[in-house]
Amino acid sequence: MEDATQNIPLNTLYSFRIDLKKVCISHTKRGLLALEDACPHKLIPLSKGYVNELDEIVCVWHKYCFDAQTGYEMTGKNIRPARAYPIEEREDGIYVGIPFKPAKVDEFSY
């Protein structure tokens, strides 16, 4: 089986829905990386942006640059990081580690 990095062009972004989360998967020089597909500033999908020469994901709206591995904003604009997810490529596919949060139970609802 071919690995995903051979089928996904370098410096591209893809949006996927995993359960209720939208995830932006990027193929950079560092490999496949995953961030939540929402700019923390205005929630514009990061997958609509592009990968720059520094392997940063650039938001199409205000040009915020996020490190594709950590999610930190790299131009010093003082906004919170984009949520980064661990990603692993295996023989049977790509796995993204999204934390599971059980629904809160409202003890007053019947």
Could you read off the pLDDT of 15-49 as tens digits, one per residue?
Answer: 999 888 999 999 999 999 999 999 999 999 999 99
Examine residue 109 and state whether it is found in any structural domain, yes or no.
no
Examine residue 9 and state whether it is found in any structural domain, yes or no.
yes
Examine residue 91 and state whether it is found in any structural domain, yes or no.
yes
Q: Which of 96, 43, 40 is nearest to 72 (CA)?
A: 40
pLDDT score, position 58: 97
Enclosing domain of residue 22: 4-96
Distance CA 20, CA 76 (A): 30
Name the pTM for this structure. Answer: 0.83
User: Strand 31-36 to strand 84-85: parallel, antiparallel, or no bridges (unpaired)?
Assistant: antiparallel
First CA to last CA distance, the chain: 51
State yes or no: pLDDT of 3 exceeds 70: no
CATH number of the structural domain spanning residue 8:
2.102.10.10
Q: Which of 75, 38, 43 is nearest to 56 (CA)?
A: 75
Examine residue 108 and state whether it is found in any structural domain, yes or no.
no
The number of domains in the chain is 1
Examine residue 31 and state whether it is found in any structural domain, yes or no.
yes
Examine residue 107 and state whether it is found in any structural domain, yes or no.
no
Residue 107, Cβ density class (10 Å: 0-12 exposed, 13-18 middle, ≥19 buried): exposed
Examine residue 84 and state whether it is found in any structural domain, yes or no.
yes
pLDDT digits (tens, 9 = 90+) for 81-103: 999 999 998 888 889 998 877 66
